[in-house]
Structure 1
Amino acid sequence: MSTGVEMPRVEDCTVTRCSYNQNGCHAFAITVGSSDQARCHTFVESPVRGGLEMSVAQVGACQRHDCRHNSELECRAPGIQVGQETADCLTYAPA
């Protein structure tokens, strides 16, 4: 039997070019990072709006194992902020 872990919410996203951002991120879940950058890899620039209107995005996975909030590739921060033109995870903090 496994126990569930509460996924952190995307508390704020200021990347207006992202199709999931409609006064906040409405993707069901996002993936943050890769081995060399702490960016939202769910970012989609398209004229089509995406996501679920009633949902608030959560961090489904984080590939930045060097972040102090990361444990076993899962984000343990209480919430994150995404911003700048490159959809950076502004909550990223080196371990």
Structure 2
Amino acid sequence: MIIATDMPEVSKCAATQCAYNADDACHARAITIGDGADPDCDTFFTNSKHTRSSRTAGVGACKMEDCKFNDDFECSAESIQVGHTGKSNNCLSYTH
């Protein structure tokens, strides 16, 4: 069974080493933005075997309680971008 939900899409991803990245686009079914000092992309991992690239990722969950787009641990932004902040891959749309 496939469940259709409305999620903000990942409009751009600069984490080129991620298994889900193809041509600066995220192709995971959904990503999770983690908590902590920075809004890391918890879905990020490196692997060269991922081959699906037809879908655009959505934001399934957001653990950044202090983000203005966080609504009951779900992202309410229209879309987000993921990119590098130092050595981390972060949600660049995070707004305190």
The residue type paired with residue 30 of structure 1 is I
Q: TM-score, normalised by structure 2?
A: 0.85
Residue 88 of structure 1 pairs with residue 90 of structure 2: yes
Residue 19, structure 1, aligned to residue 19, structure 2: yes
Structure 2 CA distance, aligned partners of 1:48 and 1:34? 28
Q: Unpaired segments of 5 or more residues in structure 1? A: none
2:50 corresponds to which residue?
A: 49
Q: Distance in 2 between matches of 1:77 and 1:87?
A: 18
Q: Distance in 2 between matches of 1:7 and 1:46?
A: 25
Separation (CA, whole Å) in 1 of partners of 2:48 and 2:6: 32
TM superposition score normalised by structure 1? 0.86
Q: CA RMSD in A?
A: 1.6
Structure 1 counterpart of 2:62? 62
Of all paired residues, the percent bearing the same amino acid is: 40
Deviation at 1:37, TM superposition (A): 2.5
Q: Distance in 2 between matches of 1:18 and 1:5?
A: 24
SS of match in other structure, 1:56: coil
Unaligned runs of 5+ in 2: none
How many pairs were matched up? 90
Q: Which structure 1 residue ranges, 4+ long, deviate > 4 Å from structure 2?
A: none
